[in-house]
Amino acid sequence: MTAPRARRPSLRRQLLLGILLPVLALVTFNTWSLYHQALRAADTAYDRTLLASAKAIGELLRVDDAPGPARLLATVPYSALEAFEADNRSRMFFKVTGFQGEMVSGFDDLPPWQGALPDRSVYAALVDFYDDVFRGFPVRVAVLLQPVSGPTGQGMAVIQVAETLELRRTLAQRILVDTLWRQAALLLVIAAVVALVVQRATRPVRELSERLRARDEGDLSPIEARQSPLELQPVVDATNAVMARLAQLLEHQKRFVRDASHQLRTPLAVLKTQVQSARRGDIGPAQALEEIATTVDRATELANQMLALAKVEQLRQQGDPPVSAWPAIVRAVALDLSALIAGKQLDFDLDLAATAPVRAHDWMLRELTRNLLHNAIKQTPAGSALAVRLVADSRTAALTVADSGPGIAPELRSRLFQPFSGGQSAHLAGLGGQAEGSGLGLAICREIVQSLGGSIQLDNRERGGRTEGLDAIVRLPLETR
């Protein structure tokens, strides 16, 4: 049972959420702020109405003219407050308290004022506003301290005017609904604009994916996206680079399969012919086995070299190789081939630098050195000189394998590094001998050197107009870090 696939993030969803969520938070805060500002403005307007009512009552107050202590008189009909009641949806109550705290007029059960005047006020009056409950209804109360004077004396009257909150609540609900639908309409417009912009911004991505999906299976040509946005261009360039590497790898695999099928067919056909000849008794068993063994050796060498050529390409695709000590690898390869050197009684000279670190896989350096040295051993006549030198300067390391063979004819030089070329086979066998090589050794060397950013050259060593041998020179960049 396969595990469920994790839901992949959507660029469009991320853009929408990343833009709309902050906008939604801002609109929500703005709605709350506008609503409370509107409520404060409405409260201020209605509080001014309460203050006007209290002042209207204060104009109706007077001091009794009778002898004795000054006494406050008030004749305030309830009709005096009807002008301040709006739409008959709220009720108003009042109470006038005299100089000595006595009830003068109004609703006696209206709770007395227990507060204090504010230190600062926006009103040009001694007024205080507070919330209270009267007869089971929440009310807003304005308290006005009104000075009253007459012939017999003066004092401070306390006027309380209370209003129920129906109208204020209705207005608050209207303000809230009006603010909400306006902000909701604004949010919808912003969401539509953002969705349209995101849709247009991500259209090149969708078009690019559709073009890639509509391509043929083997189409690895570069993507043409000249009209793509600047932010998408790095993706296009990286995709083209990947497709170029895939095309190169695919071409290498095709060439490898084509060459392998062509080159392996010949030794297999020869081997089949030799087996049939041995079965018929055309040649003796010992001679037949010797010929079969020779053919098998050549086929094995060909297969190994073809696998080595494929491995070079595989290692090339793995990225930066490690740092390897080239002198130690050259010494190890020379030791492995010492039996061949001794068998031909060669005058072998090995001169290696103390250190020459290069960035390369050990296998690549070993294969490169082995191919060059093995080829030089084949070309060097018995008892002749063979020299291997590895020197290093501040930037490069140079390996020179100098044999005493016949060198390279000028007409073969252009085809020397081509796989399965006649030039390689002729050089491997000597200019006048029978070709025994597979034609892959020098091709492998060139692929290794190119993958490491170096160079390889084959130069005839001449003296007095006569070729004394061949110098195979490989230069690789040193790892200085």
Which residues are CB-neighbours of 15 under 8 A, at least 6 positions away? 198, 201, 202
Distance between CA 324 and CA 222 in Å, rounded?
36
> Quick count: other Cβ atoms within 10 Å of Cβ 102?
10
For residue 417 the two structure tokens come to 């590094």
| pLDDT, position 202 | 79
Give the SS3 label for residue 190: helix
| pLDDT, position 408 | 84
Q: What does the DSSP 8-state code read for residue 413? A: G
Of 267, 226, 220, 270, nearest in space to 242 by CA: 220
Place of tokens 């109706």: 60
Please name the helix (run of DSSP H) or strand (run of DSSP E) that holds residue 477, with its range, or none.
Answer: strand 466-477
Of 192, 195, 139, 186, nearest in space to 162 by CA: 139
DSSP lists the bridge partners of residue 146 as: 157
> Quick count: other Cβ atoms within 10 Å of Cβ 450?
14
Q: Which residues of the chain have pLDDT under 70?
A: 1-8, 68, 76-89, 252, 256-264, 266, 302, 305-306, 308-310, 313-314, 316-319, 414-415, 418-440, 481
Identify whether the C-beta of residue 452 lies closer than 8 Å to the C-beta of residue 399.
Answer: no
Q: Give how far Cα 159 sits from Cα of 50, 74, 128, 141, 207, Å.
A: 11, 11, 11, 10, 77
Distance between CA 275 and CA 95 in Å, rounded?
133
Please name the helix (run of DSSP H) or strand (run of DSSP E) that holds residue 345, with its range, or none.
Answer: none
Distance between CA 440 and CA 308 in Å, rounded?
9
Cα dihedral sign, 176-182-183-184: positive
Q: Give how far Cα 184 sits from Cα of 22, 178, 181, 297, 342, Å.
A: 15, 10, 5, 85, 94
Task: Determine phi and psi for 85, rounding to 5 degrees.
Answer: -85, 130
| pLDDT, position 391 | 93
Alpha helices, DSSP H, located in 317-434: 326-336, 338-343, 362-379, 422-429
Name the packing angle between helices 362-379 and 285-316 (round to 10°): 140
Distance between CA 330 and CA 370 in Å, rounded?
8
Place of tokens 């305030």: 76
| pLDDT, position 345 | 93
